[in-house]
Structure 1
Amino acid sequence: MKCLSVSQPFAELIMAGMKSIDLRGWNTRYRGDILVHAPQKIIETECQRFGIDNPVTGVIVGRVSLVDVKRYHDMSEINDDFHLHLVQNNLERNLYGFLLEAPYRFATPIPQKGRLGLFEVRPSAPTENVIISDIMDEHHRYQYVGRH
């Protein structure tokens, strides 16, 4: 499954449904579910601004749907979407907004090292059924109940 590293507190804000656009300096053709990874990097000033203490890091915190990518042509367009991306600094580098929907927070964060860009994550052993189960949503788990 595809995964995207998002620095804290923004990974937390995505999972809370408060941030529905993630600004990026690059585009992607990928659409669909992605895992949200909180890397070791924490932006302390942003944590203070949102009142988030001791956010988890080095883990996959949940899943979200990447439904589209918005191309920004100027700063006024980025500023118009502030209430959706919540980013105050270094906006000139971010020409693309990943439009995110349906955040699902995992009950137990999954340890994972981050990488740049969208990267692939696969469970390392078949005994990790808890991880596999948590990645799948209820619809997929129960769609075949009573149909065999």
Structure 2
Amino acid sequence: MTDSLHIVCPHCHTTNRVARSQLGSAPDCGSCHKPLFEAHSTALDEASFDKHISRNQIPVLVDFWAPWCGPCRQMAPGFEQAAKQLEPQIRVAKVDTEANQSLAARFQIRSIPTLALFVGGREVARQAGAMGVADIVRWTQANLPR
């Protein structure tokens, strides 16, 4: 296990090298100087999605959702609370499937909300349907590679 990790900035999408021991010490981006973790989800679009999935050396939990979806809006506050519990060990992100239809098609998102967990650039788990904060955290942790 290496002592530093690549972490993609949620603001400017620059890849940063962060010492593993410094993850919990509120590291800042070397480029834009904003916090790399703010205990809430990062909105991803088609341009930033692949960079976050492929370059982050921490798992990435993605909520595929849409603004018109009632269950998505119902789950949103719990997803933000889950981000507070999961970061900085896991990047928590959201993809608006209405605004990013080709991403939704590429990942064959058939119902929303759908959570997808990516590790090392690959999807390792998927769960459709709204969940509460405790279930989001538990599901995510249960699906991390050991």
Normalising by the residue count of structure 1, what TM-score does the alignment of the two structures yield?
A: 0.29
User: Which structure has greater strand proportion?
Assistant: 1
Structure having the higher Rg: 1
User: Which structure has greater helix proportion?
Assistant: 2
